[in-house]
């Protein structure tokens, strides 16, 4: 079957929105809040630094304990090294995750109202040969790059 037999037609393409950097700020802050709300009683824009400092402190404390118990050359010392190493690595992983979110937050904060993408709604129709050439109409969302020169993502509309 050839494309021409499908009677593909673009019915409408319209720009419906632009995605600006500030939209991403809200997203990353919401991710941060949902993942770390148990670690801090109040979450605000300074929470990133507070958590990084806390996790750094915990990491250094456990790293210090690992160093102490490494000097004890018996099963008790080795068990403590394993236990404290796991705790130390957990705090490092938490810290790295917060640093990553903070870096993305700062990046989008610096971009302010710069456009990251344009959002289009496209409507098209085609004949479906599996349904006796029934004409089906579809709508999708299309997202471009910041220049608006290339489509980078699509989403189905219900």
What's the chain look like in SS3?
Answer: CCHHHHCCEEEEEEEEEEEEHHHHHHHHHHHHHHHHCCCCCCCCCCHHHHHHHHHHHHHHHHHHHHHHHHCCCCHHHHHHHHHHHHHHHHHHHHHHHHHHHHHHHHHHHHHCCCEEEEEEEEEEEEEEHHHCCEEEEEEEEEEECCCCCCEEEEEECC
Tell me the mean pLDDT in the region 138-156.
91
pLDDT at 3 over 80: no
**Of 4-8, 64-68, 119-123, minimum mean pLDDT range:** 4-8
pLDDT at 152 over 80: yes
From residue 108, how far is each of 5, 25, 66, 102, 115 by CA, in Å? 46, 6, 38, 10, 11
pLDDT tens readout for residues 47-78: 889 889 999 999 999 999 999 999 988 999 89
- Output the pLDDT for position 24: 79
What is the rounded average pLDDT for all residues in the chain?
Answer: 89
pLDDT at 132 over 70: yes
- Output the pLDDT for position 13: 93
pTM reported for the whole predicted model: 0.64
- Output the pLDDT for position 73: 84
- Output the pLDDT for position 107: 87
Q: Please state, for a pLDDT cut of 70, what percent of the chain lies above it.
A: 98
């Amino acid at each position: 079957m050839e494309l021409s037999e499908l009677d593909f037609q673009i019915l409408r393409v319209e720009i419906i929105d632009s995605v600006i950097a500030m939209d991403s700020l809200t997203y990353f802050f919401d991710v941060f809040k949902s993942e770390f709300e148990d670690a801090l009683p109040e979450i605000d824009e300074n929470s990133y630094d507070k958590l990084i400092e806390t996790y750094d402190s915990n990491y250094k404390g456990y790293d210090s304990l690992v160093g102490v118990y490494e000097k004890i050359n018996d099963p008790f010392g080795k068990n403590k090294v394993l236990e404290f190493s796991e705790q130390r690595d957990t705090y490092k992983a938490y810290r790295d995750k917060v640093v990553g979110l903070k870096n993305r937050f700062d990046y989008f904060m610096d971009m302010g109202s710069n456009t990251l993408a344009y959002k289009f709604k496209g409507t098209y129709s085609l004949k479906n040969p599996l349904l006796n050439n029934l004409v089906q109409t579809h709508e999708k969302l299309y997202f471009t790059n910041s220049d608006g020169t290339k489509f980078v993502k699509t989403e189905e509309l219900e």
